[in-house]
Amino acid sequence: MKRILSLVLSALLWIGIVPSLAPSEAKAESFDLSSVYEPYFILVNADTPTVSYRGIEQEADTRVYPASTTKILSCIIALEEGNLDDMVTVSAKAVDFGRGNSLMGLEEGDTYSLRDLLYGMMLPSGNDAAIAIAEHIAGSTEAFAEKMNAKAKELGMSHSHFVTVHGKHNEDHYTTVRDMAILTSYALTKSVKQKEFREIVGTAKYTAESGPRAIELLNSNRMLADIPPTEDFPSPISCLYEYAIGVKTGDTTPAGKCLVAAAEKDNVTMIAVLYGGTLNDPEYNGGWTDARKDKYNARRFQDAKAMFEYAFADMNRSYTVSELVAGGMQTEFEVEIPNAPADDPENGKLKVKAEINPDLPVSIMMVDPNATLSSVHIEPVLTYNKTYATIYQDETVGVVAYQCNGQTIYRTNLIATRTIKAGNAQTDIVPQSSDPNGSGSMIGPANDPSVSGNDANQGTGIGSSEDYRWIPIALIIVGVLLAAIILLFVLYVRAENKRRRRAARKRAAQRARMRENDYYDR
């Protein structure tokens, strides 16, 4: 019974009958630039990639080597100009790599789909896959590099020049962290192939199966995938970040440890570019333990995570509902009652008010760090459950969900401000969807906004007698289920008893026959 009541309560919480509160996050202090190990970095909002968030940048326009983060540009060009289902044959040049190269694991003559090769290029950073892709798209790596520079110019990457398709070191192959933020913003939010790009770079593990053998691929971005433990090193540092969505790592001796990372929370996409995490220690490969190496190797991912956590906390502002109302949040709406009497003084127009809890804290993601509450647009989305008279004053007739940046931040009841009796002539009018000003009629349940993000901010007005109408229904359902269970149990017991009686009679008959046979055998 306790379990059933717990399930019922959970259901009531889920549908919003019982209000809940979410703790608001405190505004972050200023970010310490010196805490970042990498000498070249920038943090931007994907919507404004040329401007650092809160000034979090260092040497953002200094020329640097991009290493394998180059493949972000190679990937978006291949997506925009190629067909993912094309089959690509791997040339001898594509597999002409020595030790120390990151590879997908291709062999000359292999044929794989362009889709599989893109995963092979972006997850384990396969240089072999990058060459095969470039030759397929442009005929040669040189021709593909021309496409790369043309695309960079188109995007406004004014401090970049590309020579290789994979990012292996070349003195004439360079960029800046600001240019890479511009490129990544385009790939994630503006390209016609942004969906496919996001899917590839956001994948932790993938199996390429379109070729002569299956190849298991693990993403080198440790914000998405932990490195597998080994017998010699069973406990590598976990750098997983719940809001990470990509994008690409890079690592060469001249470039150092590089990372272009992206994270998304409440429809806000942030990009962190960190380059040049170099290490001048000759004993790294000979004298360092695996644990010490891992602390160094994990640093770029930890720095990116710290940047993202700062930004999301800084954007998250807490206000009371009364402050939102004072800032212009709409609390009165109008709905038409189609069966109102002909002599209704308001011609069938009913004003409804949002049931406000003035002291309730509400969290809002303020994308612009300099924005004020007066500049925030809060959109009311109305759902009516009653638009036909008779309607009484103070009766709950629906709910309003207030949305900001696509997220529901506050939800409460709509209360009738007067009584409307039913008119003499009533008609079956198909309810119409209302707009935020209440000019229409009823919104069906299917149009109720989804609950996500900061939707935990519920008005305490939810919980009036009208809202608790679900409780008796839920209890009836529970009662029916219990009755059905009891009935099935009784039927089972009766059937079992009947079976046992038949079995007892059968055994008694067998014993009688045995005694009779025994008598005649004597």
> Tokens 């720095």 belong to which residue?
303
Top-confidence range, 56-60, 317-321, 419-423: 56-60
Whether the pLDDT of residue 377 is over 80: the answer is yes
Mean model confidence pLDDT for the chain: 85
Whether the pLDDT of residue 436 is over 80: the answer is no
What pLDDT score was predicted for residue 303? 98
Whether the pLDDT of residue 108 is over 90: the answer is yes
Percent of the chain with pLDDT over 90: 65
Residue 322 annotated as catalytic: no
The DSSP string of 240-266 is --TTEEEEEEEEETTTEEEEEEEEEET
Dump pLDDT digits (tens) for 227-260. 999 998 999 999 999 999 999 999 999 999 999 9
Lowest mean pLDDT among 59-68, 241-250, 265-274, 506-515: 506-515
Dump pLDDT digits (tens) for 346-365. 999 999 999 999 999 998 88
Q: Which of 102, 113, 125, 441 is catalytic?
A: 125
274 or 27, higher pLDDT: 274
| β 40-45/256-265 pair status | unpaired
What pLDDT score was predicted for residue 99? 85
What pLDDT score was predicted for residue 258? 97
Dump pLDDT digits (tens) for 199-209. 999 999 999 99
Is the dihedral angle over the CA atoms 470, 471, 477, 481 positive or is it negative? positive
Whether the pLDDT of residue 285 is over 70: the answer is yes
Dump pLDDT digits (tens) for 473-519. 778 888 888 888 988 888 888 888 888 888 777 777 776 665 555 44
Q: Cβ(112)–Cβ(208) under 8 Å?
A: yes
Q: Which residues pair with 382 in a beta bridge?
A: 400
Angle at which helices 114-122 and 127-138 cross, to 10°: 140
Quick one: pLDDT band at residue 60, thresholds 50, 70, 90?
A: very high
What pLDDT score was predicted for residue 12? 38
Token pair in block for residue 159? 């401090």
CA–CA dist 238, 218 (Å, integer): 15
369 or 499, higher pLDDT: 499
Amino acid (one-letter) located at 391: I
Q: Which of 52, 68, 191, 441 is catalytic?
A: 68
354: nearest Cα among 321, 385, 389: 321
Q: Cβ(386)–Cβ(467) under 8 Å?
A: no
Dump pLDDT digits (tens) for 298-344. 999 999 999 999 999 999 888 999 999 998 999 999 999 999 999 99
What pLDDT score was predicted for residue 20? 30
> Tokens 């062999």 belong to which residue?
107
Residue 441 annotated as catalytic: no
Residue 248 annotated as catalytic: no
Please name the fold of domain 33-315: Beta-lactamase (3.40.710)
Whether the pLDDT of residue 21 is over 70: the answer is no
- For the segment 135-141, the average pLDDT, to the nearest whole number, is 98
CA–CA dist 521, 469 (Å, integer): 79
Q: Cβ(114)–Cβ(82) under 8 Å?
A: yes
Q: Phi, psi (5° rounding) for residue 16?
A: 95, 10
- For the segment 262-288, the average pLDDT, to the nearest whole number, is 90
Q: Cβ(312)–Cβ(405) under 8 Å?
A: no
Cβ neighbour number for residue 93 with a 10 Å cutoff: 15
What pLDDT score was predicted for residue 415? 95
Q: Cβ(400)–Cβ(354) under 8 Å?
A: yes
Reduce the DSSP state of residue 20 to 3 states and report it: coil
Q: Which of 71, 193, 257, 265 is catalytic?
A: 71
* CA distances (Å), origin 453, targets 79, 288, 364: 31, 44, 10
What pLDDT score was predicted for residue 119? 98
Quick one: pLDDT band at residue 424, thresholds 50, 70, 90?
A: low
Token pair in block for residue 131? 């060459």
Dump pLDDT digits (tens) for 145-165. 999 999 999 999 999 999 999
454: nearest Cα among 407, 486, 494, 417: 407
